Structure 1
Amino acid sequence: MNFPLIMLVLLVITGSIALLDRFVLQRRRAAEAQGPWWVEYPKSFFPVILVVFCLRSFLVEPFKIPSGSMIPTLLVGDFILVNKYTYGIRLPVINLKVMDINEPQRGEVMVFRYPENPSMDYIKRIIGVPGDTVTYRDKHLVINGTPVKMEPNGEYTYVESGLNYVYSRRFNESLGDHSYKVLVNPEAPDIQLAGVRPFPFDENCSYNGGGFTCTVPAGNYFTMGDNRDSSSDSRYWGFVPERNIVGKAFMIWWNFSDLKRIGLSIE
């Protein structure tokens, strides 16, 4: 469901009726007479829809986490807030950037439109920015020839769909100005080669059973999930074009299963 488009249509309809009543219909009825319901209802909803549309389009938009690809940073069922303006002001619906503000940085958690199906929103961590060479081998990241700092932080257990218990090793990883936790399953391969599909600029990447190396093309970003061995990300479907960016995730505002997560910032 294209919610921004629905909001835009409602905004146009209610706004048009409000203007029609203001400049035409009011003049045709008595001064104290009430307008018909099909005029009064849209008029009352118009300011509410306008405020919600502007907030969601240019300031903050809520999202719900549907999968475990960002565990342990984000859990299934987390409701998060996304800053819509930090990466630039974009026109709603068509997502065209009209003003630059900040560029996405390594280590930030970003929401974007899935390149293979732009009607879907994905959330991943930015690993590589334009021009970076990203290598992932033996469960370790190397950016532009420099290994990313990674320190053990115990074990982590969670339940996958189907009530399967998953045991992983947890690490503290530092990238750019951000420190966060990632999960690694030592029994899983670095890359599931069968899952790699053709994608734009795939000639910038080389894969083998031990991992991969990719050079990020201009105007694109390389992303990965924090749950490294249970994430569909840039390793498999390619780079995220700048035009697909939605915003930067910054806070968990609700979780029905764990109220202690409310208000947590997203590292």
Structure 2
Amino acid sequence: MDFDFALLLVVLTGVTGVIWAIDRLLFAKRRERIALAANDVPHEPIIVEYARSFFPVILLVLGFRSFIAEPFKIPSGSMMPTLLVGDFILVNKFAYGLRLPVLNSKIVSFGEPQRGDVIVFRYPKDPSKAYIKRVIGLPGDEITYHNKTVQVNGQEIAQSDEGIYAGSGDEGHKMSGAKLKIEHLPGVDHQILQIPNIDSHKEGPWTVPQGHYFAMGDNRDNSEDSRFWGFVPEENLIGKAFIIWMNWDQGIDFKRIGTLINRG
């Protein structure tokens, strides 16, 4: 089971906040009176001092991570060439609404995923895992995938050739020689990879249910995505990936730092 950092932050915030509050309400004034009577300076117990110091810091981290942005590291090559193994990204947590930490229930709605968005979500078959893919199908769409080409509601999504991909890093070198193409989704042009001589075994059609999304990796022949495990429920959304803030594979790749992910 993956480590639940959000739960840890909630617990630490609650524990430090309760310790600090109980001390202020029940013990601080008594401690001050005793110290004043003895012409001394009141001394906080060490646990109270730590709680008072750490509570606002942990609360700030919890609020930022839960409602503004959360960092993730790319562990696989399924989103190549857009995202590489070793990329550290930030995810906009309020792009599709605010959710309570741990419970993941939406409290405020701001918008919905658009076709072409790169989203992070909890894997439907194991919500403890976070996946990242690109939104291809919206609720109500019919998606097919034939001859390495996406069709949305019967309309083929155009592609243009960009030559042969030359990868870097351990995972990138494995994809060297793949076809590099631009896929022209409505409003979003983005790169994809295709491996010659590999057939598209999962072709559809798939009709996207209401409240769900069809997501695919940009590394089309090396991605476990909605073609294999189904749709992404709206309640599983974590946020919209928006920037690469660091890359570490075989050292720091400074050229990738600051790269925007979602561009339309």
Structure with a larger share of its residues in strand: 1
Confirm or deny that 1:104 pairs with 2:128. no
C-alpha distance 98-138 of structure 1, shift in aligned 2 (>3 A)? same
C-alpha distance 90-174 of structure 1, shift in aligned 2 (>3 A)? same
Residue from 148, 153, 157 that aligns with 2:162: 153
2:241 is paired with a residue whose SS is: strand
C-alpha distance 167-160 of structure 1, shift in aligned 2 (>3 A)? farther
C-alpha distance after superposition, 1:140-190 (max 9, x if no partner) = 011011111210011113365597464210111121321110000121111
Confirm or deny that 1:170 pairs with 2:180. yes
Measure, in 2, the Cα distance between the counterparts of 1:164 and 1:260.
Answer: 21
- Structure 1 ranges of 4+ moved more than 6 A: none
Which residue of structure 2 aligns with residue 219 of structure 1? Answer: 211
2:120 is paired with a residue whose SS is: strand
Residue from 229, 239, 255 that aligns with 2:231: 239
Which residue of structure 1 aligns with residue 144 of structure 2? Answer: 135
Which residue of structure 2 aligns with residue 251 of structure 1? Answer: 243
Which residue of structure 2 aligns with residue 79 of structure 1? Answer: 88
Identity of aligned residues (%): 51
Cα deviation for residue 252 of structure 1 reads 0.3
Structure 1 residues not aligned, in runs of 5+: 192-206
Measure, in 1, the Cα distance between the counterparts of 2:12 and 2:224.
Answer: 35
Which residue of structure 1 aligns with residue 11 of structure 2? Answer: 9
Residue from 166, 178, 192 that aligns with 1:182: 192
Measure, in 2, the Cα distance between the counterparts of 1:164 and 1:171.
Answer: 17
Are the counterparts in 1 of residues 77 and 171 from structure 2 also a CA contact under 8 Å?
A: no
Measure, in 2, the Cα distance between the counterparts of 1:110 and 1:164.
Answer: 25
C-alpha distance 231-51 of structure 1, shift in aligned 2 (>3 A)? same
- Look up the equivalent residue of 1:17 and give its one-letter code: I
Measure, in 1, the Cα distance between the counterparts of 2:170 and 2:144.
Answer: 28
1:94 is paired with a residue whose SS is: coil
Larger Rg: 2
Measure, in 2, the Cα distance between the counterparts of 1:162 and 1:85.
Answer: 32
Measure, in 1, the Cα distance between the counterparts of 2:172 and 2:243.
Answer: 29
C-alpha distance after superposition, 1:103-162 (max 9, x if no partner) = 101100000000010000000000001000011000001101111121001111336559
Residue from 231, 253, 256 that aligns with 1:261: 256
Measure, in 2, the Cα distance between the counterparts of 1:162 and 1:74.
Answer: 10
Are the counterparts in 2 of residues 160 and 166 from structure 1 also a CA contact under 8 Å?
A: no
Number of residue pairs aligned between Structure 1 and Structure 2 = 249
Are the counterparts in 1 of residues 179 and 196 from structure 2 also a CA contact under 8 Å?
A: yes
Cα deviation for residue 212 of structure 1 reads 2.1
TM-score (norm 2): 0.91
The range that moved more, 65-74 or 211-220, is 211-220
The range that moved more, 158-167 or 5-14, is 158-167
Which residue of structure 2 aligns with residue 194 of structure 1? Answer: none
Measure, in 1, the Cα distance between the counterparts of 2:52 and 2:70.
Answer: 25
- Look up the equivalent residue of 2:66 and give its one-letter code: S
C-alpha distance 163-143 of structure 1, shift in aligned 2 (>3 A)? closer
The range that moved more, 130-139 or 28-37, is 28-37
User: CA RMSD, aligned part only?
Assistant: 1.5
Residue from 18, 21, 24 that aligns with 1:22: 24
C-alpha distance after superposition, 1:240-260 (max 9, x if no partner) = 111100000000011133111
Measure, in 1, the Cα distance between the counterparts of 2:47 and 2:151.
Answer: 61
The range that moved more, 216-225 or 93-102, is 93-102
Measure, in 2, the Cα distance between the counterparts of 1:134 and 1:14.
Answer: 50
